[in-house]
Amino acid sequence: MNNESCLDMNAELWRYRHDLTTQPATMAVFAILYAIIIILGTFGNLCVILAIARTRSLQTVPNLFILSLSCSDVVVCCTSATITPITAFKKEWLFGATLCSIAPFIAGISLCFSTFTLTAISVDRFLLICFPMKKALTRPHALLVIVSICTMAACLSAPIMLKQHLQTYENFCGQFCAEDWGSDMSGRRVYGTVMVCVQFVAPLTIIIICYTAIAVKLGQGMLVKGKKNNYEWQVEITDQQRAAIKRRQRTNRMLISMVLAFSASWLWSVLFNVLRDYDRLPEWMKVQEYFYGIATHCIAMTSTVWNPLLYAVLNPQLRAAFIRLMPTFLTSQDRLERCGGLMRNGTLADAGIDCKNVTQQQTMRQAIRSPESKRYGTIAEVSLVSSRASLQHLHTGTHSSTLGCLTQSFSCMQL
């Protein structure tokens, strides 16, 4: 159709509906919001990926699932968070026929992958804590689960790719990427309902059951109870056992927070799409359908930002690994102070900071400044005294600190 005779979709929407997404002010606000989400989401999840990849002690089964979630979130930032707002404000499709089919397919895979992975994490924690005598999930098994989840997500999202096509509307300019289910929309409704049940209802039900059972189990774990000869007895657990339980409770709080953040982010978008599929949108929402659609999508995209923030706040090991990714411009004294703080918090081994080297450097400086070193007249003699003092200090103090690091590392690897 000749561009001079066709109608602009934005102009018509503003004329008949006063659609807010056609206004520059609305576009500017959402452009800023999406830019913040993309930058924070990409940067935060890349930090998670690098931290786990570079820190051996962090490569546990739960963290491998977290790593896969971060990879999925980076893909979301590069696809859904960029293409969807452009299309929502421009109205026509600008990215070609291939991306018209692939982009929604990737978005569907990412959503399914995230919910299934969160479910796998909850099931893994449930088996580990409630059935400790059973064989724990290993890293090769975790990788197999991740591949299976990805395959399942691709199969469930395949109908989107098959039904998504470029279309043209009579009298309107440009091409539009939309699902083509024919004149009967019952197929779209059935598929949408099944996806909601598979993506959200079933996973969230499993997650709630698992974490409820875990909370009950950990709550009971503070006392060891028994019964013999009709006498009931209970004994308080040791400090080491109590510390292990508290560490697991802290990990569970982080994982539950991840689930809550993901659910709260995506709930509004899911509800909006379900109401639209069944033609149950309120009239005030129908008039501004594009606006509420992009608003709920923007809220859903914040899920890519929350996870890295939760890791940094609630997980000391990941927080320490994030610190290691900072530029190496800290002075030796800064590193020593940070090292001491991590030792007190029990996160030294996971931070990967070589405190032994830092302690050696500090001891050398103290030995050089000591009165004993001043009795010698050459640099070589000072070095000998410094080395002697360093070895003595390391033998008495640092050995126990290093052993503590190894013990803490082993405890963290059990999570």
Counting beta carbons within 10 angstroms of the beta carbon of residue 395, is it exposed (0 to 12), middle (13 to 18) or buried (19 or more)?
Answer: exposed
Give the integer Cα–Cα distance in Å for 94 and 82.
Answer: 12
Give the integer Cα–Cα distance in Å for 348 and 321.
Answer: 10
Does residue 272 contact residue 289 with C-beta atoms inside 8 Å?
Answer: no
pTM: 0.74
Q: What is the chain's pLDDT, residue by residue, as a tens digit (415 residues)? A: 555 678 888 888 898 889 999 999 999 999 999 999 999 999 999 999 999 998 888 888 989 999 999 999 999 999 999 999 999 999 899 999 999 999 999 999 999 999 999 999 999 989 988 888 888 888 999 999 999 999 999 999 999 999 999 998 888 888 999 888 877 778 888 999 999 999 999 999 999 999 999 888 877 755 444 454 455 545 556 677 777 777 777 777 888 888 999 999 999 999 999 999 888 999 999 999 999 999 999 999 999 999 899 888 888 888 888 888 876 434 444 554 555 554 444 444 444 444 444 445 444 445 444 444 443 333 333 333 344 444 444 444 444 444 343 333 333 334 4
- Number of domains composing the chain: 1
Assigned domain for 362 exists: no
Torsion, Cα 360 361 364 365, to 10 degrees, reads: -150
Does residue 189 contact residue 278 with C-beta atoms inside 8 Å?
Answer: yes
Assigned domain for 201 exists: yes
Instruction: Give the HSE-up count for residue 283: Cα atoms under 13 Å, Cβ half-sphere.
Output: 0
Give the integer Cα–Cα distance in Å for 236 and 222.
Answer: 7
Torsional class of 280: left (φ above 0), alpha (ψ -120 to 50), beta (otherwise): alpha
Please tell me the predicted confidence (pLDDT) of residue 411: 37
Assigned domain for 363 exists: no
Q: At what angle do helices 202-220 and 239-277 cross, to 10 degrees?
A: 160
Domain at 96, CATH number: 1.20.1070.10
Residue 374: CB partners within 8 Å, gap ≥ 6? none
Give the integer Cα–Cα distance in Å for 48 and 307.
Answer: 9
Torsional class of 226: left (φ above 0), alpha (ψ -120 to 50), beta (otherwise): beta
Does residue 363 contact residue 335 with C-beta atoms inside 8 Å?
Answer: no
201: number of Cβ within 10 Å: 11
28: number of Cβ within 10 Å: 10
Q: Cα dihedral sign for 173, 178, 181, 187? A: negative
216: number of Cβ within 10 Å: 11
Give the integer Cα–Cα distance in Å for 176 and 97.
Answer: 10
Assigned domain for 88 exists: yes
Give the integer Cα–Cα distance in Å for 170 and 272.
Answer: 27
State the DSSP H helix or E strand holding residue 166, giving kind and residue range, or none if neither: strand 164-167
Q: Look up residue 188 and give its amino acid.
A: R
Assigned domain for 207 exists: yes
Please tell me the predicted confidence (pLDDT) of residue 232: 52
In the chain, the largest separation of any two C-alpha atoms, in whole Å, equals 98
268: number of Cβ within 10 Å: 16
Task: State both tokens at 191.
Answer: 């598929």
Assigned domain for 375 exists: no
Assigned domain for 155 exists: yes
Does residue 23 contact residue 294 with C-beta atoms inside 8 Å?
Answer: no
Token pair 């009967």 is found at 184
Report helix, strand or coil for 164. strand
Does residue 58 contact residue 318 with C-beta atoms inside 8 Å?
Answer: yes
Give the integer Cα–Cα distance in Å for 228 and 232.
Answer: 7
Assigned domain for 354 exists: no
Range of the domain at 310: 9-224+239-328
CA angle at 82 for the pair 8 and 169, rounded to the nearest 5°:
25
Among 146, 9, 7, CA closest to 89: 9
